[in-house]
Amino acid sequence: MIFLIILLIIICVALGIFVLIQNPKGGGLMTGGSGSNMFGVQRTGDVLEKGTWVLLTLIVVITLSISAISKNGTGSTGGSKIQEHLDRTPTPSPLNQQAPANTTPPVNEQKPVQ
């Protein structure tokens, strides 16, 4: 499972690099550079776009497999350290199991403030 997590991190970094080196297509929030892809790099754009989709598909598949492995409990870690700590912690018992009868003093026993 650790191998899959490391592989997922490497693929995420590669996807970020692929997205950053692509030429802008001029859509979305882009407001200028109308002729940026006029003469040239269509083949490079196709390769980068296909690579982006492949990396995205790999991220989805690896994420789902990590999720399935962790739900089945067959991961190499064995269990969560937090869950083990919670299992070892004793549950506190209530100190006073009965509700207090009356927390305010009776009206006739109150002293006037001077």
pLDDT digits (tens, 9 = 90+) for 36-81: 555 555 566 688 888 999 999 999 999 999 999 888 765 555 567 7
Give the up-direction half-sphere exposure of residue 65: CA atoms within 13 A in the CB hemisphere. 13
Q: Which two tokens stand for residue 74?
A: 């067959």
The SS3 call for residue 94 is coil
Q: What is the pLDDT of residue 20?
A: 87
Among 8-22, 45-59, 93-107, the range scoring the smallest mean pLDDT is: 93-107
Does the pTM surpass 0.75? The reply is: no
Can you tell me the distance from the alpha carbon of 45 to that of 87, in angstroms, rounded to the nearest whole number?
Answer: 54
